Amino acid sequence: MPTELTCIICPNGCHLTVDDNLNVTGNKCPRGVAYGKQEVTDPRRTITTTVRTNSKTFAVCPVKTREAVAKKLIFKVMEEANKTTIAVPVHIGDVVVKDIAGSGTDLVATRDIEE
């Protein structure tokens, strides 16, 4: 049974159809083909959240996964992030948790906190 998707890779928002043989139609660019195949076989998402800090000014620091993680790991990543407290100073791009939840990617800071 074909899967209907809306591509989110570029602003075109193409309406994709992916059949059982992973043939993708409806794309206006090659990135749509790659997105359609991955979304059907191994859907992934970039996770953004916050972690606690020891700062007196900023109780939390925004973070994100450096790479997209498998959808099946989202709850494990969030559970680990919720248990994490970081010490300041922290800078954009600093690794907060290496290989979070065994996902193969790091959780990194997306804000500088100097205090």
Domains of the chain: 3-41 (no CATH), 48-109 (3.10.530.10)
pLDDT over 90 at 75, yes or no: yes
Q: What is the pLDDT of residues 23-41, one digit of tens each?
A: 999 999 999 999 999 999 9
User: Mean pLDDT over all residues of the chain?
Assistant: 96
Q: Where are the beta strands (DSSP E) in the chain?
A: 3-6, 15-18, 24-25, 44-45, 48-53, 60-65, 69-70, 85-86, 95-97, 107-109
Does this model's pTM top 0.75? My answer is: yes
Instruction: Write down the pLDDT at residue 1.
Output: 84
- 73 touches 95 (CB < 8 A): no
Tell me the mean pLDDT in the region 52-57. 96
Instruction: Write down the pLDDT at residue 105.
Output: 98
pLDDT over 90 at 115, yes or no: no
Tell me the mean pLDDT in the region 85-110. 98
